[in-house]
Amino acid sequence: MTPTLVRQHLPHTGETPRVDLGARARDWSEIQERMLVPLYETVYERLEVGPASRLLGLGCGSGLALLIAASRGAAVTGVDDSSPQRLALARERLLPPAGGTPARVGTRLVEGSPEDAAEATAYTVVTAFEPIGCLAGDSEGLGERLASAVPLAERGAPVVLAGWGPPERCATTSVLRVATKLSDPLRGTSGWRPALRDDLEEVAHRAGLKPDGSGRVACPFGYADVDSAVRGLLSTGLFDAAISATDQVQVDKELAEALHPHQRRDGTVWMPNVFRYLIARVP
């Protein structure tokens, strides 16, 4: 299969690099996505996700959270419209080729909007695990997805939102500031911003949901080396504006420098972080 490529402008050199979106999706799947496993497992345990659950995962990406829910017996449907490459990896995980065994009977993956994932039977759990609170406008995007998803869930169903914890509790904050430093606001790019205390509650209220509990989960970011850390962090998309405003080489260089204080003697990189989740209910 030919890799999907995008071009990004380099204002200083005049060169036009090509970014392999398939490779970036694999970096997310193989390096970065697992960092949030403690969040997924904590939420599923609290909500008692199991064989009686019909779960809709918004922004499901490469499907690790869905796979964990399916392993608990839940019927899962994932929907994503942001990355066909990640969704293809989710299909490999959850829907093997003909003759293979799916993660669970009834598993579905939908490329599109939440409306495209409508089923005859209402969902009992809705999750939006992609953390908000780092990019300008990310809460608005989540709000739109929730507005489409809420009518698909049964009354009283829990809807889970996730976000970054307080900056002072997240060691990765110092690294993410590279995105803000290199982004160019004059060109309308959206760099990283610190998470705000009420980000999740504001999104829930705008979607007409009723907050019903929250929690914090330690999700340390650990990497084999600096190169792996750079690849994993770039796969989040949080540095895309910085790349557009400068160039890939500069972003890679400054990311590596920012990671240096978090590198241990054996070469591994370790950054303790705290993520927050909010449970809201469909009225």
Give pLDDT, residue 98. Answer: 60
Percent of the chain with pLDDT over 70: 84
> Mean pLDDT throughout 171-185?
84
- pLDDT bracket for residue 271 (50, 70, 90): very high
Query: What class is the 16-168+193-222+272-281 domain?
Result: alpha beta
Rounded Cα gap, residues 36 and 33, in angstroms: 6
Mean pLDDT of the chain: 87
Please tell me which residue, 139 or 216, carries the higher pLDDT value. Answer: 216
Q: What are the tens digits of pLDDT across the range 210-260? A: 999 999 999 999 999 999 999 999 999 889 888 888 899 999 999 999 999
pLDDT class of 11 with cuts at 50, 70, 90: very low
Instruction: Say if residue 208's pLDDT is above 60.
Output: yes
33-44 pLDDT, tens digit each: 999 999 999 999
Residue 251's alpha-carbon distances to 53, 55, 93, 183, 184, in angstroms, are: 42, 38, 31, 10, 13
With 70 as the cut, is the pLDDT of residue 14 above it? no
pLDDT for 145 beyond 80: yes
**CB contact at 8 A, 123 and 54:** yes
Q: What is the rounded distance in angstroms from the CA atom of residue 92 to the CA atom of residue 129?
A: 20
Domain segments of the chain: what residues?
16-168+193-222+272-281
Identify the residue with better confidence: 206 or 106: 206
- Check whether 111 has a pLDDT greater than 70: yes
Q: Which pLDDT score is estimated for 199?
A: 85
Please indicate, yes or no, whether the overall pTM of this predicted structure exceeds 0.75.
Answer: yes
